[in-house]
């Protein structure tokens, strides 16, 4: 029967009184790690042996050194390859991958000579035989563990990468106070046989390790998002809420927008923000009496509201889409509640919604919306605040503040903020409000019924809870399933203990999170500005740099030609009050370049000559009048990333001269440019000016051939022009 390593060690100590792990490994030709494992198992038995750890430096052969010990040194291999009648050096270099080193060492050792007496040099042996000391030294160490090398030789072999010095850990062993030879491996299980035969009485059992984790059961693992959803669902249920049926991702615009009193020109209803379906493109099954009341409240108002005063179209309401919020489901449920006879209710939903958003580290084109709704008689805003405190307290969030906000379907509305101890900053945690009468009364709900609504996302708290910075690490095809497997249980009401994963963010992460706050604010500002505009009935505004109101009957040609010269991308919208349609040609001339950084929306409206700049990156106020708008655009250009300066600031005679150049036809302008560019970088001097921008615009509309000089200038200006409003 083989004696186990622990027993062999005990027998060695019995015989010798002491031992050493490295010597035993050497002597018994055992792997050092196995010896160490046996020592650890004996230590676990208590004071059976004494163990003292030490470290020491050892010389060991590198893989190249081992090859030399086996096959001979590089110089010996080369010497042995030289035949009696000699060999050419190029031929000799082919005998081994290390022939070059070997040849040089053999020559320095006086073993070889290069004979040049007969024209072509020939390598010959200089001695009859050699002593390959390198191989002898290395194989003595490798095969017998004998270190017969001088210090100088070791340094030399180390330099030749044949030998390396390693630090090894060893253990001095001795007999412990409870030394015994008969250590049986402690039993880990009490078996039925032991009990039946009574043999357990003389068995040693391993102590229970009560710290040991249970064996992970082979099973599925819930995704963190679903763990958080279960927590939210539990909170709503214990607060007496009933879950709404949200099993329809496809919704009609009527229920998603119109029923919520969201006007048909609202920016959120733009294809930029919403996924519309092409098949089935439309819905047609509506509660028509209710639909008529919705149409009326949008167009004429009613119930004390002035409405939006636009021509509401059922075609717009029929458009199918992927719901942009679960409030569409809330609308259906409240309409049904009104139809069946109102009674106070508390509803909630947690499900996917879809938005055609710009994707980034924290936003995908879909997210899970968490929504709560409470309907009762004579509710006030204070009650909503109280409910929100209660709700968020169950998430472990108690420090709240509420900020006035705007939603098309709630008034008043509040953004909800909370101070996050882990992130050390205030973060937005949701939105809320009281549904407007224009939404509730057309449903047929009693006038004294008020309804609270609030919402938040599932992804944001999940990412914070699980320390995930990029939403693609939480959802999507790139999710690491090990993360799902390893994600701990979710307790939303407990602040996370700081763990290595939730350590304070590094400066980059902190910056990333700061940037997310800024982006959130930016998004909210844009939404607010868009909503404000939608409330005053202007055309929807996608994310842009400039917005101009102009009248197609009196187009501001100078402003429009400057925008065209700048090549900014121009989109057009028509104010609902517009009576005359702008000419196709006018819009075609102004369309600008799709790849331009600058963006401008021209809202055609009946403003006569009073062209108006309503939004610009550098102006918080509106700019009225063509001349003022031109001056403002000039300032914008000078502040732009391309730093375009306005040549009007030049001495009058030079500025007038430039005007004259720009009035010339394309061919003579090219001649002028050729002359000017011979000594200047740009038309007026060393900087890009509006003169260059206009000149480029003249030439881009002509077929005239450009000289090499002018071509280079043209490309430079076009490139600069693209980034003007970057």
CB 604 within 8 A of CB 573: yes
Torsion, CA 434, CA 436, CA 437, CA 438, rounded to 10: -160
CB 414 within 8 A of CB 404: yes
Angle, helix 32-43 to helix 5-16, in steps of 10 degrees: 80
302: left (phi over 0), alpha (psi -120 to 50) or beta: left
Least distance to ligand FB9, CB of residue 526, Å: 11
Tokens describing residue 355: 């938005």
Tokens describing residue 257: 């927008």
β-bridge pairing 599-604 and 546-550: parallel
Least distance to ligand FB9, CB of residue 454, Å: 5
Least distance to ligand FB9, CB of residue 368, Å: 9
Does residue 153 have a cis peptide bond before it, meaning omega lies within 30 degrees of 0? no
Indicate the SS3 state at residue 472.
helix
CB 694 within 8 A of CB 662: yes
Query: Which of 456, 457, 455, 452 minimizes the C-alpha distance to 334?
Result: 452
Of 135 and 266, nearer to ligand FB9 (C-beta) is 266
Length of the chain: 726
Least distance to ligand FB9, CB of residue 175, Å: 59
Residues forming a β-bridge with 424: none
Identify each DSSP E strand in 436-475 by its residue range. 449-457
Of 91 and 366, nearer to ligand FB9 (C-beta) is 366
Neighbours of 566 (CB within 10 A): 29
Least distance to ligand FB9, CB of residue 657, Å: 54
Between CA 6 and CA 725 the distance in angstroms is: 78
Least distance to ligand FB9, CB of residue 457, Å: 4
Between CA 531 and CA 525 the distance in angstroms is: 10
State the Cα angle at 277 between 271 and 283, rounded to 5°.
115
List interacting residues with ligand FB9 (CB under 6 A): 327, 369, 371, 397, 407, 410, 420, 427-433, 453-457, 460-461, 464-465, 520
Least distance to ligand FB9, CB of residue 303, Å: 19
Indicate the SS3 state at residue 415.
strand
Least distance to ligand FB9, CB of residue 225, Å: 13
Of 432 and 450, nearer to ligand FB9 (C-beta) is 432
CB 176 within 8 A of CB 184: no
CA distances from 388 to 116, 239, 333 (A): 99, 12, 21
Query: Which of 456, 689, 677, 440 minimizes the C-alpha distance to 565?
Result: 689
CB 423 within 8 A of CB 464: yes
Of 286 and 391, nearer to ligand FB9 (C-beta) is 391
Least distance to ligand FB9, CB of residue 199, Å: 57
Least distance to ligand FB9, CB of residue 344, Å: 17
Within 403-492, where are the H helices? 437-440, 459-465, 481-486
Of 89 and 502, nearer to ligand FB9 (C-beta) is 502
Least distance to ligand FB9, CB of residue 444, Å: 20
Of 542 and 634, nearer to ligand FB9 (C-beta) is 542
Least distance to ligand FB9, CB of residue 428, Å: 4
Between CA 465 and CA 331 the distance in angstroms is: 31
Of 103 and 466, nearer to ligand FB9 (C-beta) is 466
Does residue 280 have a cis peptide bond before it, meaning omega lies within 30 degrees of 0? yes
CA distances from 481 to 223, 388, 457, 475, 613 (A): 9, 35, 22, 10, 52
Least distance to ligand FB9, CB of residue 456, Å: 3
CB 644 within 8 A of CB 689: yes
CA distances from 683 to 647, 655, 711, 724 (A): 10, 11, 13, 18
- The residue with tokens 């036809």 is 665
CB 554 within 8 A of CB 608: yes
Query: Which of 412, 334, 397, 341 minimizes the C-alpha distance to 371?
Result: 334
Least distance to ligand FB9, CB of residue 373, Å: 7
Least distance to ligand FB9, CB of residue 486, Å: 20
Report which residue's Cβ sits closest to ligand FB9: 455
Between CA 299 and CA 313 the distance in angstroms is: 10
Between CA 459 and CA 122 the distance in angstroms is: 78
Between CA 671 and CA 675 the distance in angstroms is: 6
Least distance to ligand FB9, CB of residue 325, Å: 7
Of 30 and 428, nearer to ligand FB9 (C-beta) is 428
């Amino acid at each position: 029967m083989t004696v186990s390593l622990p027993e062999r060690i005990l027998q060695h100590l019995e015989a010798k009184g002491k031992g050493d792990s490295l010597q035993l490994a050497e002597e018994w030709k055992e792997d050092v790690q196995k010896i160490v494992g046996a020592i650890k198992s004996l230590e676990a038995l208590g004071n059976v042996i004494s163990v003292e750890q030490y470290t020491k430096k050892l010389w060991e052969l590198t893989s190249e050194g081992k090859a030399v010990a086996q096959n001979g040194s590089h110089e010996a291999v080369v010497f042995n390859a030289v035949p009696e009648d000699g060999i050419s050096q190029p031929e000799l270099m082919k005998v081994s991958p290390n022939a070059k080193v070997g040849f040089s060492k053999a020559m320095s050792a006086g073993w070889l000579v290069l004979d040049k007496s007969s024209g072509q040099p020939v390598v010959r042996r200089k001695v009859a035989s050699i002593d390959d000391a390198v191989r002898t030294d290395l194989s003595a160490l490798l095969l017998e563990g004998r270190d017969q090398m001088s210090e100088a030789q070791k340094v030399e072999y180390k330099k030749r990468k044949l030998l390396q010095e390693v630090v090894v850990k060893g253990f001095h062993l001795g007999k412990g106070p409870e030394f015994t030879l008969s250590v049986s491996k402690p039993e880990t299980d009490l078996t039925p046989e032991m009990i039946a035969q009574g043999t357990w009485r003389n068995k040693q059992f391993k102590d229970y390790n009560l710290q040991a984790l249970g064996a992970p059961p082979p099973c599925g693992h819930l995704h963190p998002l679903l763990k958080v959803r279960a927590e939210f669902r539990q909170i709503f249920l214990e607060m007496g809420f009933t879950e709404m049926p949200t099993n329809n991702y496809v919704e009609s615009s009527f229920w998603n927008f119109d029923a919520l009193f969201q006007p048909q020109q609202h920016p959120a209803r733009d294809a930029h923000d919403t996924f519309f379906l092409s098949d089935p493109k439309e819905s047609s099954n509506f509660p028509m009496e209710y639909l008529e009341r919705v149409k009326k409240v949008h167009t004429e108002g009613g119930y004390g509201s002035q409405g939006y005063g636009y021509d509401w179209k059922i075609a717009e309401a029929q458009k199918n889409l992927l719901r942009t919020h679960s409030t569409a489901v809330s609308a259906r449920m409240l309409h049904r509640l009104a139809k069946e006879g109102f009674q106070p209710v508390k509803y909630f939903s947690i499900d996917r919604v879809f938005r055609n958003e710009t994707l980034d580290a924290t936003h995908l084109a879909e997210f899970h919306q968490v929504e709560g709704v409470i309907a009762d008689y004579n509710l006030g805003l204070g009650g909503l605040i109280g409910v929100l405190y209660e709700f968020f307290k169950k998430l472990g969030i108690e420090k709240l503040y509420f900020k006035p906000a705007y939603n098309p379907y709630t008034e008043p509305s509040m953004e909800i903020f909370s101070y996050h101890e882990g992130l050390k900053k205030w973060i937005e945690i949701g939105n809320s409000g009281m549904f407007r009468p224009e939404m509730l009364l057309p449903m047929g709900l009693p006038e004294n019924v008020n309804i609270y609504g609030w919402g938040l996302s599932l992804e944001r708290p999940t990412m914070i809870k699980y320390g995930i910075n990029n939403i693609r690490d939480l959802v999507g095809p790139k999710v690491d399933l090990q993360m799902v497997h390893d994600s701990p249980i979710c307790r939303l009401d407990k602040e996370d203990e700081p763990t290595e994963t939730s350590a304070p963010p590094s400066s980059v992460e902190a910056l990333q999170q700061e940037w997310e706050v800024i982006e959130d604010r930016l998004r909210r500002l844009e939404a607010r500005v868009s909503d404000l505009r939608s409330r005053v009935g202007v055309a929807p505004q996608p994310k842009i740099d400039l917005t101009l109101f102009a009248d197609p009957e009196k187009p501001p040609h100078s402003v429009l030609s400057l925008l065209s010269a700048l090549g900014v991308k121009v989109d057009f919208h028509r104010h609902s009050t517009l009576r005359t349609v702008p000419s196709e040609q006018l819009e075609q001339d102004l369309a600008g370049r799709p790849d331009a950084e600058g963006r401008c929306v021209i809202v055609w409206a009946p403003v006569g000559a009073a062209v108006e700049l309503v939004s610009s990156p550098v102006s918080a106020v509106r700019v009225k009048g063509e001349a003022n708008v031109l001056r403002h655009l000039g300032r914008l250009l000078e502040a732009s990333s391309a730093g375009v300066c306005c040549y009007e600031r030049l001495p009058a005679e030079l500025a007038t001269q430039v005007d004259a150049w720009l009035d010339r036809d394309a061919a003579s302008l090219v001649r002028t440019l050729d002359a000017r560019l011979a000594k200047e970088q740009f038309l007026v001097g060393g900087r890009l000016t509006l003169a260059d921008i206009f000149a480029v615009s003249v030439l881009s509309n002509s077929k005239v051939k450009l000289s090499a000089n002018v071509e280079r200038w043209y490309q430079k200006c076009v490139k600069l022009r693209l980034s003007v409003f970057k």
